[in-house]
Amino acid sequence: RKRILITGGAGFVGSHLTDKLMMDGHELTVVDNFFTGRKRNVEHWIGHENFELINHDVVEPLYIEVDQIYHLASPASPPNYMYNPIKTLKTNTIGTLNMLGLAKRVGARLLLASTSEVYGDPEVHPQNEDYWGHVNPIGPRACYDEGKRVAETMCYAYMKQEGVEVRVARIFNTFGSRMHMNDGRVVSNFILQALQGEPLTVSLFFFFFFFCSDLVNGLVLLMNSNISSPVNLVMSRSQIQFLSEAQDDPQRRRPDIRKAKMMLGWEPVVPLEEGLNKTIQYFSRELEHQA
C-alpha cells in the first residue's frame, strides 16, 4: 500500500488510473485544474477515506508527501493543446519541473505520461524507443510535441543529477469511456458520426489505438518495473486498422512494441470490438445526457 499522486487524475486516462489504484487499495491524491478534466470522472471516490482531490495547477509548486507520482497533467488532443499554446508549454515545462522537484524532495518515483508525438512525423518505420523523432520545433503542434520532449529531457536530468527514479511511457492513441467526444480525433469523430447518422470522414491512413484499461495496466506495470528508459505503450500490430482524414496528423506512424512486451511482459488484451462497443455505449449515454 502506497501513497500515490496522480496529476491530471480527473482526465480521461487519469480517472481510469484512479479507479485501478483505488481498487488496489492505495492512498490516492488527485491533483487537477479541471481544464479538460471533470470532477464527474472521479466523483464516485469523493468521500472515500483513501481518496483526496485537490483543485491545483501544476504550474504552481505543490508540497505533499507521496511515494509515487503519475504525472499526467497536460492537455492531450490538438484542439485542447492548441487552445492556449503558452499554457500547454508552461504545464509541460514548469509543471514537470515542479513535479520533479517534489519527487526529489520526498524521494518519490515519477512516471511521465509522454506521447508518441515525440516521434513527430517519423522517417523511420516502425519507431522503437531509440528513434530520435522528426518534429517541427516551430510548428502549430510544437507546444505539445516539444513540450513533451523537453519534459522527457527534464526527467533524465533529474535522474542523473539528483538520483530521482523516473519512468517514461510513450503512449499511443487511446480510447474509452470518459474520452473527449469533441477532440477531433478519429475514434471520437467516427463514433459521433455513426451515432448521429452522418457519413464517416474516411481516408487512407492507418492508426494505432488501444483501450484505456490496457493502457492503465501498462502504466502501473511500468511504474513498478525497474525500466527507467522510455517505453512505447500501444496496441499490438494485429489489432489496429483504422482510417481517417485528419490532415495534420503524422502519417504512417507505426510503433515498435517489442520493448514493452519483452521487458514488462505487457500486451493489450482488450479486443478492438469490445473496446469500441464500450466506448460507443459511453458516447450514447453522453449524447442522451446532453439532449
Ligand X SMILES: NC(=O)c1ccc[n+]([C@@H]2O[C@H](COP(=O)([O-])OP(=O)(O)OC[C@H]3O[C@@H](n4cnc5c(N)ncnc54)[C@H](O)[C@@H]3O)[C@@H](O)[C@H]2O)c1
Ligand Y SMILES: O=c1ccn([C@@H]2O[C@H](COP(=O)(O)OP(=O)(O)O)[C@@H](O)[C@H]2O)c(=O)[nH]1
Active-site amino acid positions: 144
Binder of ligand Y out of 23, 47, 49, 86 (CB under 6 A)? 86
Judged by CB under 8 A, does residue 94 bind a copy of itself?
yes
Judged by CB under 6 A, does residue 160 bind ligand Y?
no
Judge whether 81 and 88 are in contact, CB under 8 Å: yes
Phi/psi for 84 (5° steps) reads: -145, 80
15-23, 35-43, 85-93, 172-180 -> range binding a copy of itself (CB under 8 A): 85-93
Binding partner selected for residue 8 from ligand X, a copy of itself, ligand Y, none, CB under the kind-specific 5 to 8 Å limit: ligand X
Q: Give me the 41-80 binding string for a copy of itself, x by CB under 8 A, dash otherwise.
A: ----------------------------------------
Q: At what angle do helices 272-290 and 186-195 cross, to 10 degrees?
A: 60
102: its cell numbers? 517534489
Tell me how crowded residue 1 is: count the other CB atoms within 10 A of its CB: 9
Residue 20: CB minimum distance to a copy of itself, A: 28
Binder of ligand Y out of 44, 105, 237, 285 (CB under 6 A)? 105
d(CA 49, CA 46): 9
129-137, 187-195, 199-207, 215-223 -> range binding a copy of itself (CB under 8 A): 129-137
E strands, the chain, where? 3-7, 27-32, 51-55, 68-71, 109-115, 166-171, 174-175, 210-211, 231-233
d(CA 182, CA 82): 14
Which residues, including other chains, have CB under 8 Å from residue 132's CB and lie 6 or more apart?
A: none
Binder of ligand Y out of 69, 102, 216, 270 (CB under 6 A)? 102
Binder of a copy of itself out of 136, 182, 241, 251 (CB under 8 A)? 136
Residues that bind ligand Y (CB under 6 A): 33, 35, 61-63, 83-84, 86-87, 90, 97-98, 101-102, 104-105
